[in-house]
């Protein structure tokens, strides 16, 4: 079974797909490479990365959820993360069993592909996996050799979410904060007002030419930011529909708006809390 599938979205930039429906992103410079997120950790993403580059590696987590930081333990090195996300990481480490029960149920129902290899041991995976975190700072830059990548604090999906801006290509790596299904509904999420403010900052301070999200293999147009801002501004609780988190039972509202310029996607969903 070939577990990871790397998509070279541009020369020296790989969007690495994992069957749990999540992507990690590898950017390769002349002297170093940077990996944005590590996936679930069901399989060793380090092997997939070393097949693409043998350069020294920097790792940054977009946030602490299991599908983004669960593979941290595969690397014997320091990993950059927003300070707030240390507690989010700990929380989701404790919720592994219920999350995996949900994934396995969807697989058995034929709704999702098999989420982990046959030789994977759930019992070995369940215990807490410590890793060596280093606090990330807003505006921190990583020089990969001819390529500068900048960290941007971007509260939304969680309060400690981080995006990366590739100055060479103008591409924004947005994690779960931008895409066609945006969840700003958790206890650890930022307010919609703070999220909107960050979207405006991105527009004002960065020349964004495209957006990579964690749950879509293609590149979103920069205009997605305007669409999301408009979705936030024009939300109407009376016209939004009830959304219930499939695993935790959280109740929230979901607003749907059309998307016309994203291949394979016709709608954007914003999930947000009751006021």
pTM over 0.75: yes
Task: Mark the ranges of the chain whose per-residue pLDDT is less than 50.
Answer: none
Rounded to the nearest angstrom, the gap between the alpha carbon of residue 197 and the centroid of all alpha carbons in its chain is 20
Note the pLDDT of residue 150: 98
Cα 110 from Cα 50, distance rounded (Å): 32
Decide: helix, strand or coil at residue 92.
helix
Query: Nearest 5 degrees, angle CA 62-CA 225-CA 79?
Result: 10
Note the pLDDT of residue 45: 97
Tokens of 86: 């240390």
Note the pLDDT of residue 136: 98
E strands, the chain, where? 5-10, 13-18, 22-28, 33-36, 57-60, 78-81, 132-135, 141-143, 148-153, 162-166, 171-175, 181-183, 210-213, 241-244, 251-262, 265-272
Closest C-alpha to 157, from 178, 173, 172, 139: 178
Note the pLDDT of residue 1: 57
Query: Nearest 5 degrees, angle CA 226-CA 229-CA 230?
Result: 85
Give me the residues paired with residue 5 across strands. Answer: 17
């Amino acid at each position: 079974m070939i577990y990871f599938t790397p998509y070279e979205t541009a020369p020296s930039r790989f969007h690495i797909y994992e069957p749990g429906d999540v992507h990690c992103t590898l950017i390769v410079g002349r002297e170093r490479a940077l990996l944005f997120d590590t996936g679930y950790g069901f399989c060793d993403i380090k092997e997939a990365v070393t097949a693409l580059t043998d350069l020294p590696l920097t790792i940054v987590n977009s946030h602490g959820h299991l599908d983004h930081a669960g593979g941290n333990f595969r690397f014997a090195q320091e990993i950059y993360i927003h300070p707030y996300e240390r507690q989010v990481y700990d929380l989701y480490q404790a919720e592994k069993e219920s999350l995996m029960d949900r994934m396995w149920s969807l697989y058995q129902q034929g709704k999702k592909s098999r989420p982990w290899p046959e030789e994977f041991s759930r019992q070995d995976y369940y215990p807490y996996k410590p890793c060596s975190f280093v606090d990330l700072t807003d505006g921190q830059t990583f020089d990969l050799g001819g390529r500068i990548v900048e960290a941007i604090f971007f509260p939304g999906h969680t309060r400690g979410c981080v995006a990366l801006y590739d100055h060479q290509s103008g591409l924004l790596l947005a994690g779960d904060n931008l895409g066609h299904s945006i969840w700003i509904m958790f206890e650890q999420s930022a307010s919609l007002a703070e999220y909107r403010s960050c979207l405006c900052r991105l527009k004002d301070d960065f020349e964004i030419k495209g957006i990579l999200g964690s749950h879509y293999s293609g590149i979103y147009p920069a205009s997605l930011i305007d669409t999301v801002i408009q979705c936030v501004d024009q939300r109407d609780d009376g016209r939004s529909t009830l959304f219930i988190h499939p695993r935790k039972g959280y109740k929230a509202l979901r607003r749907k708006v059309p998307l016309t310029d994203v291949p394979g996607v016709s709608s954007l969903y914003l999930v947000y809390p009751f006021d």
